[in-house]
């Protein structure tokens, strides 16, 4: 089948990419600055891809992704700093607790549609932030000190698993059910799809990986504070997904890479940083109103290119 | 027990605020029958479809399918019990390919779990392969197989209608509800469609309930006809009886004679 044909090249190129970068890091060619950008990029991609499942695939407009990120960050910090458990356990627990948070929000609020769901999830994310702000155990407004534990290897493995799970989920009857909810909820219902179940499922999987990203995030920045997980963080993630093209996973990845690079290099010009960043967004949306990739995936471009080449040869 | 009707609607009605859209609606469909439901615009035809499929819960009365109560069930459960439908205004999954549209309807008949799909276990591959095979069978019957990778939104109108019926059939219904399947089709397309409906009915051993505006068409293929007007059942009977029923003639054609009703 075509899916399994794509599978091995994907694994192969992923391992190759990992090995090359790991080699460059250990040889000292990529210094801390660059490896940090790569880690930060991986975290952002995990966030973008998990939100892509909720918004791009299932069509549920959620503005609460920073809330799940916060749950993951704080839970993982508690696990490593207070309970002295190993980092991988913290990553896993962060994901699980974020999933639970996703279920708590998702089950009541996914009855709502469109704008109303967006407002409800936005409210939820704020509630989470304020809860952490008021718990002294995690440091309140001053935040919580966290040891730096996130390495390129952790970031890469989490990123790889995230993409693999979400691609596999999307390319199955379950993913099709989610897309059918996005395309026409009434028809999906009439075709025997339990729409609530799949909305909650997409929400839970998305929340899990946002929690994982939270664990990486917390252990990358030495300190976490509630203000890092505000409304603007949710918007940041949303921008990656929309800019890449709603419904395109590779689009979300490309947009995240691009915007992370832009915003990192603009850090040297703090006065103009947000102006240039916003200009980039406006220009992309003007020239690619459906996002960088529309609903296409990178593999679709390969297919197009191959059939175009085939036509040319037939023409001769 | 053998003679029990497949679908029995007893005194069903629904009220939206102060408006009684449908009241005291009675209907009986036996195994294998092709029934027509007609009536002027706004008579409550589509509302009664929505009542049968669980989109609305009736405020009065009872719906029995295969002897079991189905009113109050959500639409997806009604479909899983064996009632599937098409829509008056086509509702395809536009951005999905033609074959994926059919696969979505086959969804609840496949068994492979979320976990098996994420881990790509053998049950995922066998399950997906079977879905592909089944979906192709339906596309072939409806002569849509050569468009299988096309996005549904790119199909011409008549083919979209056919795809909607193919999709409804893929949900393995025992009762198929068609809401104006020939709307917007030219006479030749309508004729082809009617032959197709007769064929799938035999092939899949279906009962069919059909809403249609085109009187000739309904009279031509339905065994019994129900007539709705202003949310109440006006008449039921064979096409011959309906054609000669004075109340039906008045509701449909009499408007010009009795100007005060218009």
Q: What's the pLDDT score for residue A5? A: 58
Instruction: Return the HEC string of A224-285.
Output: ECHHHHCHHHHHHHHHHHHHHCCCCHHHHHHHHHHHHHHHHHHHHCCCCHHHHHHHHHHHHH
Q: How far is A194 from chain B (nearest CA, A)?
A: 6
CB contact under 8 A, A192 and B84: yes
Distance (Å, rounded) from C-alpha A304 to C-alpha A229?
41
SS3 B92: coil
What does DSSP assign to residue B36?
E
Nearest CB among A173, A184, A192 relative to B128 is that of A173
| pLDDT category of residue A292 using cuts at 50, 70 and 90 | confident
Query: Could A183 and B95 be called an inter-chain contact, meaning their C-beta atoms sit closer than 8 Å?
Result: yes
> What gap in Å lies between CA B185 and CA B100, rounded to an integer?
24
Q: Name the interface residues of A facing B (CB cutoff 8 Å).
A: 1, 4, 7, 165, 168-169, 172-177, 179-180, 182-184, 186-195, 201, 247, 295
pLDDT surpasses 80 at B260? no
Structure tokens at A34: 């660059």
Tens-digit pLDDT profile for residues A148-164:
998 999 999 999 999 99
How many CA atoms within 13 Å lie on the side-chain side of B91? 22
pLDDT higher than 80, residue A2: no
Separation of alpha carbons A46 and A217, rounded Å: 11
User: In the prediction, which pLDDT does B253 show?
Assistant: 65
Write the CA distances from B5 to A25, B61, B65, integer angstroms.
Answer: 74, 17, 8
For position B262, what pLDDT does the model report? 41
Unique residue bearing structure tokens 């004729």: B191
pLDDT score recorded for residue B105 = 94
What's the pLDDT at A7?
Answer: 72
Q: Across residues A104-132, what is the average pLDDT?
A: 89
Nearest in space to B136 (alpha carbons), one of B171, B170, B92? B170
- What is the per-residue pLDDT across B93-133, written as a single tens digit (0 to 9) for each? 999 999 999 999 999 999 899 999 999 999 999 999 999 99
Summarised one tens digit per residue, pLDDT across range B155-191 is: 999 899 999 999 999 999 999 999 998 888 888 888 8
Average pLDDT of the residues in A172-200: 95
Give the model's confidence band at A285: pLDDT under 50 very low, under 70 low, under 90 confident, else very high. confident
pLDDT at A280: 82
What was the pLDDT predicted at B174? 94
Helices (H), chain B: 45-52, 75-81, 98-106, 114-118, 122-141, 157-170, 187-204, 215-221, 239-243, 246-252
CA distance B162 to A177: 21
Q: What average pLDDT does the segment B15-25 reach?
A: 89
What does the alpha-carbon distance between residue B22 and residue B2 come to, in Å, rounded to a whole number? 30
H helix runs in chain A, sequence order = 2-26, 32-51, 65-77, 87-109, 114-133, 152-170, 173-183, 185-190, 195-218, 231-244, 249-265, 273-287, 298-315
Structure tokens belonging to residue B229: 């007007």
For residue B261, the model assigns a pLDDT of 47
Distance (Å) from the alpha carbon of A25 to chain B's nearest alpha carbon: 31
Instruction: State which residue of chain A sits closest to B167, comparing Cα positions.
Output: A191
Whether residue B83 contacts residue B35, with contact meaning beta carbons closer than 8 Å, is answered with no
Identify the bridge partners of residue B10 per DSSP, sorted by sequence position.
B62
Please give the residue of chain A at the shortest CA–CA distance from B169: A191
Burial class (CB in 10 A: 0-12, 13-18, 19+), A232: exposed
| Confidence band, pLDDT 50/70/90 cuts, at residue A91 | very high
Q: Is B128 in Cβ contact with A193 (below 8 Å)?
A: no
pLDDT band at B254 (very low <50, low <70, confident <90, very high): low
Local confidence band at A316 (pLDDT 50, 70, 90 cut-offs): very low
Return the axis-axis angle of helices A87-109 and A114-133, rounded to nearest 10°: 140
Q: Mean pLDDT over all residues of chain B?
A: 89
Contact A156, A18 (CB under 8 A): yes
The confidence band for A179, taking pLDDT boundaries of 50, 70 and 90, is very high
Going by pLDDT thresholds of 50, 70 and 90, the confidence category of residue A312 is: low
Q: Look at residue A181 in the predicted model and tell me its pLDDT.
A: 95
User: What is the C-alpha to C-alpha distance for residues A178 and A147, in angstroms, rounded to an integer?
Assistant: 39
pLDDT number for residue A102: 94
pLDDT attached to residue B255: 54
Looking up tokens 């990123």 gives A159
Residues B26-53 have pLDDT tens digits of 999 999 999 999 988 888 899 999 999 9
Min CA distance, A166 vs chain B (Å)? 8
3-state class (DSSP) for residue B68: strand
Is A216 in a helix, a strand, or coil?
A: helix
Q: Which tops the pLDDT comparison, A293 or A172?
A: A172
Helix (H, G, I), strand (E, B), or coil: what is residue A293?
coil
* Sequence-ordered list of residues with C-beta below 8 angstroms from that of A231, at least 6 positions apart, any chain: A63, A66, A122, A125, A126
pLDDT at A40: 93
Closest by CA position to B26, among listed B242, B233, B248? B233
- Where does the pLDDT of residue B2 fall: very low under 50, low under 70, confident under 90, or very high at 90 and above? low
Q: Are B129 and A1 inside 8 Å of each other by CB?
A: yes
Query: CA nearest A162 in B: which residue?
Result: B118
Distance of CA A65 to the CA centre of its chain: 9
Pairwise CB contact (< 8 Å): B117 & A247 = no
pLDDT digits (tens, 9 = 90+) for A41-62: 999 999 999 999 999 999 999 9
Q: How many CA atoms lie within 13 A of B16 on its CB side?
A: 7
The neighbour count for residue B97, using CB atoms within 10 Å, is 17
In angstroms, the CA B229 to CA B252 distance is: 9
* Tens digits of residue pLDDT in A197-246: 999 999 999 999 999 999 999 999 889 999 999 988 999 999 999 999 88
* B76, B84, B131 ranked by CB distance to A194: nearest: B76
The pLDDT tens digits for B205-244 are 999 999 987 777 788 889 999 999 888 998 899 998 988 8
Name the residue with tokens 């504070």. A225
Distance CA B113, CA B98 (A): 24
Partners of B14 in the β-ladder: B22
Question: CB-based contact (8 Å) between B112 and chain A?
Answer: yes
Q: How far apart (Å, rounded) are the C-alpha atoms in residues B107 and B112?
A: 10
Cα angle B182, B185, B191 (rounded to 5 degrees) comes to 70
Q: Which helix (H) or strand (E) holds B149?
A: none
User: Within a 10 A sphere around the Cβ of A146, how many other Cβ atoms?
Assistant: 24
């Amino acid at each position: 089948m075509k899916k399994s044909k794509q599978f091995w090249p994907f694994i192969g190129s992923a391992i190759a990419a990992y090995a090359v970068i790991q080699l460059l890091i250990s040889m000292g060619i990529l210094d801390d600055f660059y490896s940090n950008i790569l880690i930060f990029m991986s975290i952002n991609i995990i966030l973008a891809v998990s939100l892509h499942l909720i918004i791009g695939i299932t069509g549920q407009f959620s503005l609460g992704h920073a809330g799940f990120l916060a749950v993951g960050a704080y839970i993982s910090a508690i696990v490593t700093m207070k309970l002295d458990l190993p980092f991988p356990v913290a990553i896993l627990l962060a994901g699980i607790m974020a999933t639970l948070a996703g279920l708590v929000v998702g089950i009541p609020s996914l009855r709502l549609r469109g704008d109303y769901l967006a407002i409800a999830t936005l409210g939820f994310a704020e509630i989470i932030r304020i809860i952490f702000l008021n718990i002294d155990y995690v440091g309140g407004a001053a935040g919580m000190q966290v040891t730096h534990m996130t390495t390129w290897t952790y970031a890469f493995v989490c990123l790889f698993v995230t993409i693999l799970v979400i691609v596999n989920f999307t390319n199955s009857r379950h993913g099709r059910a989610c897309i059918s909810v996005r395309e026409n909820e009434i028809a999906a219902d009439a075709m025997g799809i339990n729409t609530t179940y799949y909305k909650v499922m997409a929400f839970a999987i998305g929340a899990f990986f946002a929690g994982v990203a939270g664990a990486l995030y917390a252990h990358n920045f030495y300190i976490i504070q509630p203000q890092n997980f505000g409304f603007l963080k949710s918007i940041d993630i949303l921008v990656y997904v929309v800019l890449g093209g709603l419904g395109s996973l590779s689009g979300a990845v490309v947009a995240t890479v691009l915007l992370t690079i832009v915003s990192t290099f603009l850090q040297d010009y703090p006065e103009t940083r947000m102006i240039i960043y916003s200009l980039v967004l406006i220009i992309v949306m003007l020239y690619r109103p459906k996002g960088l990739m529309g609903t296409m995936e990178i593999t679709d471009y390969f297919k197009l290119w191959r059939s175009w080449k085939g036509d040319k040869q037939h023409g001769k | 027990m053998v003679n029990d009707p497949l679908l029995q609607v007893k005194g069903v009605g629904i009220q939206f605020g102060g408006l009684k859209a449908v009241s005291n609606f009675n209907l009986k469909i036996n195994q294998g029958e092709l029934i027509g439901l007609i009536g002027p615009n706004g008579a409550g035809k589509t509302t009664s479809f929505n009542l049968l499929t669980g989109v609305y819960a009736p405020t009065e009365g009872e719906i029995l399918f295969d002897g079991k109560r189905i009113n109050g069930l959500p639409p997806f459960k009604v479909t899983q019990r064996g009632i599937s439908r098409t829509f008056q205004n086509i509702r395809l999954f536009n951005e999905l390919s033609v074959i994926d549209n059919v696969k979505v309807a086959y969804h609840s008949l496949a068994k492979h779990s979320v976990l098996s799909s994420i881990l790509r276990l053998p049950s995922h591959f066998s399950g997906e392969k079977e879905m592909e095979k089944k979906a192709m069978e339906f596309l072939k019957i409806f002569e849509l197989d050569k468009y299988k990778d096309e996005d549904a939104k790119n199909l011409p109108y008549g083919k979209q209608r056919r795809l909607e019926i193919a999709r409804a059939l893929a949900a393995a219904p025992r009762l198929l509800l068609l809401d104006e399947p020939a709307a917007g089709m030219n006479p030749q397309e309508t004729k082809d469609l009617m032959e197709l409906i007769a064929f799938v009915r035999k092939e899949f051993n279906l009962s069919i309930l059909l809403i249609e505006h085109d009187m000739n068409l309904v009279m031509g293929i339905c065994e019994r006809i129900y007539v709705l007007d202003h949310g109440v059942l006006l008449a039921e009977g064979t096409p011959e009886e309906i054609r000669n029923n004075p109340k039906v003639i008045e509701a449909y054609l009499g408007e010009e004679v009795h100007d005060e009703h218009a």
